[in-house]
Amino acid sequence: MRNGWVRRGVFGALAAALVATLGPWMPGSGAAPALAASRGASETVRIAIATDPTGLDPESVLQNEAGFVMSTIYDGLTKYRPGTTTVEPGLATSWAISQSGRRYVFTLRRGVTFQDGTPFDAKAVTAWLDRILNPRDPHYVGNQQGINDFNHFTFGDVGSYKALAPDKVAITLKKPNAEFLADLAMAWSGVTSPTAVDRYGYGLMTHPVGTGPFAFVRWARGQYIELRANPDYWGGAPRVGEIIFQEIPEASVRLLSLEQGKVQILGDVPPQDVARLRHMASVRVLTQPGLAVDGISLPVQTPPFNDVRVRRALNYAVDKRVLAKDLFFGLAKPMNSPDSTDEWSYVAQTSYTYDLATAKALLREAGYPNGFAATLYTYTNPRGYNPAGGAKVAEAIQGDLARVGVRLTIRQMDFAAFLSTVRKASFSGMASSGWSGDNGDPDDFMQPLYGCTAFDTGNSSHYCNKQVDAWFAEGLRTTSEAARKKIYAQVEARIWRDAPWIYLVYATQVRAESADVHGYLLNPTEMFFDMQRVSISSH
């Protein structure tokens, strides 16, 4: 769903080269004088983003940059603990889940108002749910044309909802869904002001009103979005007066802007710029493992890939460490589980460490002593989970596999065309695969890639194991985290052993901030949650 940054091939590379070449001439590394200028405006945090948000209605958009902004304006019933994807109370202070795992009764936070003064209560929550789920609602979001949203994912299982008291709402699901609480914490589940909805209708896209720490002021399309601190924020008054999300499409210019103190946080940092940023005294580079995996899916139902020995051989034949170091500039870690290291359910498995002898032996055993020919489908652009771009990684894999006699033909295409190709039931090639998690739940991270019903979403290997699917179902039925941990430990071990992918790397989330910014924490979902904690030191 999330596009990550978009760079423009040769253009971007040349631009980066220019900035790198002229670096010593620029007032760069010791940019203290430049930063001094920004301290004058210490009440404003400026965040550079690569592209314009597509809209600011949480239930009608699904784009990273839109999420960045919305995560400062809106709150969900639940939220993530700062810096993590662990769910904790948000606009709901507590909840009770029925034995069946279907009925949730939320107790709402009292005394909260939306930024337009509307009280937040059970009526506001049911109005919000009406807008998402009730086709007869005059503002039903589904009546908009061509929108992208996460509503089916988050609210698809909701059967009914009811206000029980001014501070109590019951939501009943058609079937148990243990990730529901994590879904409600996403930037795409922000609770909208019913007054603003009545006033603006679908115009909420450009007039967002929530209960979050910052209130919308103005949006100069293609330039910036200005937000003002909400001093009554229930999570504590923000420590800065203003946030400005400023669109700067060109990566080199974003970097210069940070260096010059014109912006304080970079929302997108291409990996090749990290080394330069690390040398700037006035800049801090922030990294976090992130909810992102990158690999190559293997068509497990097609010979020779239907033999698990072949799939394991290919895993042993790829040098993931070199890949992480050279193509991801060290901002990646070889995978050692199908789950993300940032998930609470993560269990490390025995790595497929680079070992050509084992790879050759396994291929020999499987009846392919001289290897075989295959086609690897890939995309041209960089992705959040693969900032090097599909084609570059594919070429590295091609080189590695040639050493064990596997001759790859690479077919590269633009991303939309690539998805259309690999998501057909008839697809039987190898494919660049990757995933950025949405809500921090292991089901969201593994079922779309390895579930029997996910051939048309992320499961391009067509891996289908009935036992694993049963575990997935059990994982969603079970509400206790401890019990779920045990279930997903089995899932991870089985999928890892079956090797439907060549498991490559976990991509690291990278951002940069100027040294006078304090309290900013990365979140694995990449969103700008808890921005009320951020301050700028004045000197």
Partner 1 sequence: MGRFLLRRALLAVPILWGAATLAFLGLHIVPGGIAQAILGQHASAAAIAQIRHQLGLDQPLYVQYARFLMSAATGHYGISFRTHDSVATDIGQALPYTIQLSCAALLLALVLGIPSGAVAAAREGSLVDTALSSGVLVGVSMPVFWTGLLLIIAGAAKLGWFPISGALTPGVIVPHVTGMPVVDAALAGDPAALGDAVVHLALPAIALSLYPLAFIAQMTRAALVEALGEDYVRTARAKGLSARVTVLHHGLRAALIPVVAVVGLQLGGLLSGAILTETVFAIPGIGWLTVNAILFRDYPVVEGVVVVTVALFVLVNLLADVTYAVVDPRVRY
Tokens found for residue 132:
């998402």
- Of 366 and 452, which CB lies nearer to partner 1 in the complex structure? 452
The number of beta carbons lying within 10 Å of the beta carbon of residue 200 is 18
- Of 159 and 203, which CB lies nearer to partner 1 in the complex structure? 203
CB of 492 to partner 1, least distance (A): 21
- Of 144 and 351, which CB lies nearer to partner 1 in the complex structure? 144
Contact 460, 431 (CB under 8 A): yes
How wide is the angle at C-alpha 344 spanned by C-alphas 340 and 348, nearest 5°?
A: 55
Q: Residue 106: which of 128, 90, 117 has the closest Cα? A: 90
Contact 192, 151 (CB under 8 A): no
Burial call 50-80: b when 16+ CB within 10 Å, e when fewer: bbbbebbbbbbbbbbbbbbbbbbbbbbbbbb
Contact 436, 444 (CB under 8 A): no
Q: Looking at this protein, which amino acid is placed at residue 336?
A: N
CB of 111 to partner 1, least distance (A): 32
CA distance 31 to 280: 7
CB of 381 to partner 1, least distance (A): 9
Question: Considering Cα of 381, then 385, then 386, then 390, what sign does the dihedral take?
Answer: negative
Burial call 226-265: b when 16+ CB within 10 Å, e when fewer: bbbbbeebbbeebbbebbbbbbbbbbbebbbbbbbbbbbb
- Of 165 and 417, which CB lies nearer to partner 1 in the complex structure? 417
Contact 282, 515 (CB under 8 A): yes
CB-side exposure of 535: number of CA atoms within 13 Å?
8
Tokens found for residue 119:
């009280």
Binding residues vs partner 1 (CB under 8 A) = 1-3, 6, 8, 11, 14-15, 18-19, 22, 25-27, 34, 46, 51-52, 54-55, 62, 144-148, 152-153, 202, 205, 218, 220-224, 226, 244, 246-250, 252-253, 256-257, 259-260, 262, 413-421, 423, 435, 438, 448, 456-458
The residue count of the chain comes to 539
- Of 218 and 325, which CB lies nearer to partner 1 in the complex structure? 218
CB of 208 to partner 1, least distance (A): 14
CB of 418 to partner 1, least distance (A): 8
CB of 221 to partner 1, least distance (A): 6
CB of 477 to partner 1, least distance (A): 22
CB of 487 to partner 1, least distance (A): 23
CB of 370 to partner 1, least distance (A): 34
- Of 46 and 462, which CB lies nearer to partner 1 in the complex structure? 46
Q: Which helix (H) or strand (E) holds 158?
A: strand 158-165
Residue 55 three-state SS: coil
Contact 243, 214 (CB under 8 A): yes
- Of 169 and 422, which CB lies nearer to partner 1 in the complex structure? 422
- Of 22 and 165, which CB lies nearer to partner 1 in the complex structure? 22
- Of 8 and 175, which CB lies nearer to partner 1 in the complex structure? 8
